[in-house]
Amino acid sequence: IAGITQAPTSQILAAGRRMTLRCTQDMRHNAMYWYRQDLGLGLRLIHYSNTAGTTGKGEVPDGYSVSRANTDDFPLTLASAVPSQTSVYFCASSPVVGGYGYTFGSGTRLTVV
């Protein structure tokens, strides 16, 4: 089934540890995004990539990094996790730049203790 696969589904992480959230899409979409969802704040963009080899900062990029080595994969790395990074993380992709036709993954629930 075409779509976005995120892993892990959930994770409890000790503060200060490094963690990489994985995201893979099989739709050959050019653009990919990472959002975090927090109650009362909606979804906020962390980082995005318009095409393989390029990335950009979103609204809340601090403490996070991304890479886009190929079209399909867009991992999100927390170099040194802090409790404020406790959230649900969603990866999304779209065929073209412009906000159109977003497809979201099922999310990763991350708890930093």
The residue ranges that bind other proteins (CB under 8 A) are: 4, 31, 33, 35, 40-45, 48, 50, 56, 58-59, 90, 92, 94, 96-102, 104-107
Q: Output 15 or 41, the one with its CB closest to other proteins.
A: 41
> Residue with structure tokens 């994985």?
22
For the CB of residue 16, give the shortest distance to other proteins in the complex, in Å. Answer: 29
In the complex, least distance from residue 34 CB atom to other proteins, rounded to whole angstroms: 11
- Half-sphere exposure (CA, 13 Å, Cβ side) for 112? 17
User: Using CA of residue 56, residue 18, residue 3, residue 86, what is the dihedral sign?
Assistant: negative
Q: With contact defined as beta carbons under 8 Å apart, do 35 and 43 qualify?
A: yes
Residues whose CB is less than 8 angstroms from the CB of residue 41 and which lie 6 or more positions away in sequence, other chains included: none
Q: Indicate the residue among 48 and 64 with the shorter CB distance to other proteins.
A: 48
In the complex, the smallest distance separating the C-beta of residue 8 from other proteins, rounded to whole angstroms, is: 14
